[in-house]
Structure 1
Amino acid sequence: MHDFCFTIPYGLLLVGGGVFGYFRKGSTASLFGGAGIGLLLTLAGYLSLQAFHKKKNSYPALILQTVCAATLTWVMGQRYLQTSKIMPAGVVAGLSVLMTGFYLYKIATGGNHIAAKTK
C-alpha cells in the first residue's frame, strides 16, 4: 500500500475535525491545529502521489508525513493523559500512532514501491 492512499484521507479527516471543533466549540486551536496539520498532510500526500505518477519516491513528503503524525501522537497523547477524553484526543492520538508506525515502515522498506513495467 502506498503512503498517499492513507495520508490524503488522514489529512482530510484532520481538516474536517479541526473545522468541526471550531464550529462546535469556537476553538481556534482546533482550527489551526487540526486543519493546519491536516492541510499539511494532505499536501504531502498529494506530492507523494505526484512523485508516484512520475515513477519516483518522494522522501521529503514521507518524512514530513512522519513528523506530522509523530507530533500529533505526542501532543494528543499528552492531552489524552491529562484529560482522559476519548474524543478527540484519544482517537487522534491512537490514529496518529498507527500512521506514525506505517510511515516508519514505509521509510524502512524504501518508500513506495514502483512496479516494474510489464510487457
Structure 2
Amino acid sequence: MRYPAMLERLLPIGLLLASNLFMTFAWYGHLRFPNAPLGWVILISWGIALLEYSLMVPANRIGHLVYSAPQLKGMQEVITLLIFAGFSAGYLGQPLKWNHWAGFALIAVAAWLIFWE
C-alpha cells in the first residue's frame, strides 16, 4: 500500500517516536519501583513492549517504502537516545552528564553517516 510521499517520510518518524517512548518505559520505567516483584515487572514490561511492537512494525514497514533498513535503524537509534535522555532526566531524575552526551553525539554522527550518499 502506498501513502502520500510526505506521509511516507514523516509517519515512520512519528511511529518510531511513539514506539520508543513505550519501549523506554518497558525497559526502564520499573527502576522507580525497586521493591516491585520482579515477576510482575516482567509481565508489565512485556505488555508495554507489545504496544511498542504494534508501532515499530508499521513504522518499519511504511518507512521501508522510502528509507533503507540501515537508515531506519540509524533513525531509530537517534530517536531512542533522545527519548531516553528526556526519560532519564524527567522520569528517573538522573540527568545525563557531559560524557553521556558526548557518547550519544558520536552515535548521532554514526547515524548521519548512514544517510550520507
TM-score range, shorter chain: 0.3 to 0.5
> TM-score, normalized by length of structure 1?
0.36
Q: Which has the higher contact order (CA 8 A, sep 6+)?
A: 2
> TM-score, normalized by length of structure 2?
0.36
